[in-house]
Structure 1
């Protein structure tokens, strides 16, 4: 690692103003596509991440001797929706203290609770020094523009440790993951479960088979053109069920845009009823390297156990067949633990620029984290795996 001379900071209100090749040269996380220029650009160009929706792009780039050596995907937020870091309690506390909480600055890939975030930095740069320079630039920008604080969500562990030395407080969050150590088949995986849960999984799948439900994988160029529009309809219908708790943040144009650069990373699993060529339900996942990421799902009608089939069991089977290693199914509840998904900690980093609010976080965040770790331990205590002897 070498020191970088004469750094210049630039701020951008849309990622389209940043050269895609320069950005992606810094994005070395090959297995995590959600910080690549094309994904972030699609979010903005589709109208999913725009100021009108409370997401104002505010990206930072750092330059030295004519080349871009650092970049950060950042957004000015007027609310906390779509982050999957539920900080509304902190916003309420700020209000009670007479401290303005919004706007705040958030670093993440919008709507993607996937451990990946970090400052994107040139490989030959001193990561600690450049992170410090970028952090200081962000703090100066925030103080000049009345920004209450900055948070980085779902950060990588190594980079998070750097930011912790710069005064950011670590907030722990529970997430799920499924690891494939090299199963020969889905039955091979089931053989490691306790008898009761093994029977439950087989019963659920048998129930669907008894109704004549079939499923099919479509990867990349295999995906019929109309399925992208249909996937939005499923996504919207599913989210509409939850009213104000909905996570419907993406536009139809986003799903149509997946036909372009990211098509090769898209896996759609469709379910069909007997005699019907139109899917009754679909799930959309993103694959990259040896990883699979669960994203969206929806159905035309309620079919018992179909969600588990399209979002858990069939993706697991596909992973095993393809030799993939890690499956991140997205956020969720206890039903994931009962089907073998291990709870693991994710991390966000926070700094409030009002010393009173930051002081309160400094006092209470250890207790938040202790309780969250208790939840992780509790969820892992009900995993259905056989005891190791």
Structure 2
């Protein structure tokens, strides 16, 4: 039972919550995507607002003026930028004569990375706080006319809790590079057979023969020109593909480079005196998150060098344990990125649609284990540490 001294409040801007209180809940080890500065940049830059389909709808619990628990949440009017791919569910709803949008999404905009979704202050009853936040989500979602609630990329422990509470659970795959204790890039290559090692060396060596130099710009080195460049590469990639949609504004990049420089990184490919390609990454001491990349010139293996090989080498040098290059990308498997389950949970208010989606998720999950086995087979990584 919720402490009667605690009040529930749903807020339509992250700036209505003091940054120090929000970040105290998130804790010093939280991924940057749930920090106050990141969410502020999303909203204040115009990247995540009602007119872009992301209406802030943050769930908070207060004891007097002290924030004791919170969830970042948004009323969504489309499914872009979530990377959970429920477009077919929206189509099924339409065939049933139902409005799928708006829906309530608990998670961070445009950030397909696992991170805590229920931020609870130290000393508080975590289970009670989570129940209270979900009750607030259900009540406010119904008031807003939402069809459903979706918790995207929660931690596994949170997903277990939500499934036990009655939400439908979805597991999908990303491909993460994991560092079991490499001391050099050659250690990483040694886990492949000779044919694959030669392939990776040839691909990485292509940059030198093309006259391309790779460099990392990070922290205090980052300036406004890097923010402009990051948005330019991001927009160029979005505009190149039919599925692409530019959702982040230039001001978003300017804000996070200014307010969170310690967590920002740009990998740049330089040819002559010109930066021809780049990748925008987010970092912590233990993890690197690949976010967006783009190029202004096409060269063989440029994408692999900018987005994968250079950062793998730097993760080994820095002792980072995991490199998450983002959603999708089965091509990563043959380059040593391992299949890793990620989670989402779903509460559909319409009984018929709920039944259909749960049946779909059951069948989808039956195919997950074989998919993981096939990906591991294609990766062909030798067990570490190597023996013999």
TM bucket normalised to smaller: over 0.9
**Aligned counterpart for 1:357 among listed residues 353, 357, 366:** 353
Question: How far is 1:247 from its partner?
Answer: 4.3
With over 3 angstroms needed to count, the CA separation of the structure-2 counterparts of 1:29 and 1:349, relative to structure 1, is farther
Matched with 2:303 is 307
Provide the C-alpha distance between the structure 2 equivalents of 1:128 and 1:277, rounded to a whole number of angstroms: 56
What does 1:38-117 correspond to in 2, within 5 Å?
Answer: 38-117=37-116
Question: Displacement of 1:228 after TM fit?
Answer: 1.4
CA distance in 1, matches of 2:2, 2:122: 12
Task: Kindly state the Cα deviation for residue 20 of structure 1 after the two structures are TM-superposed.
Answer: 0.7
What value does the CA root-mean-square deviation take over the aligned residues? 1.7
Quote the residue 2:381 is aligned against: 385
Q: 1:263 aligns to what? A: 261
Q: Distance in 2 between matches of 1:258 and 1:118?
A: 21
Aligned to 2:280: 284
Partner Cα distance (1:199, 1:225) in 2 = 39
Q: Counterpart in 2 of 1:296?
A: 292
Counterpart-to-counterpart distance in 2, 1:233 and 1:350:
35
TM-score, length-scaled by structure 1: 0.95
Q: Match of 1:86, SS?
A: coil
Residues 289-339 of structure 1, C-alpha deviation per residue, up to 9 Å, x if partnerless? 211110111111101101101111110111111111111111122210010
Aligned residue in 2 for 1:163: 162
Matches within 5 A, 1:1-389: 4-28=3-27, 30-243=29-242, 245-273=243-271, 276-386=272-382
Kindly tell me the number of residue pairs found equivalent between the two proteins.
Answer: 385
Partner Cα separation in structure 1 for residue 24 and residue 205 of structure 2: 48
Instruction: Measure, in 1, the Cα distance between the counterparts of 2:367 and 2:79.
Output: 22
Shift of 1:196: 1.1
Secondary structure of the residue aligned to 1:52 is: helix
Cα distance, 1:61 vs. partner?
Answer: 0.7
What's the offset of the Cα at 1:155? 0.9
Give a deviation string over 1:244-299, Cα, whole Å, max 9, x none. Answer: x00422111111112212112111111111xx222111111111121111011111
Could you tell me how far apart the structure 1 residues matched to 2:206 and 2:22 are?
48
Q: Is the 8 A contact 1:7 1:64 kept in 2?
A: yes
* Alignment check: 8 A CA contact 2:12 2:55 kept: yes
- For structure 2, the 5+ residue unaligned runs are none
Per the TM alignment, residue 28 of structure 1 is displaced from its structure 2 partner at its CA by 2.3
Residue deviations 1:219-258 (CA, integer Å, cap 9, x gap): 1112354121112111111111102x00422111111112
TM-score, with structure 2 as normaliser: 0.95
Please give the alpha-carbon distance, in whole angstroms, between the structure 1 residues aligned to 2:165 and 2:256. 38
CA distance in structure 2 between the aligned counterparts of 1:128 and 1:218, rounded to whole angstroms = 41
8 Å CA contact 1:30–1:289 kept in 2: the answer is no
How many Å apart are 1:31 and its aligned residue?
4.5
1:108-156 CA distance string (max 9 Å, x none): 1111110114211112111111111111121111222211110000110
8 A Cα contact 2:79 2:85, kept in partner: yes
Aligned-residue offset at 1:5 = 4.0
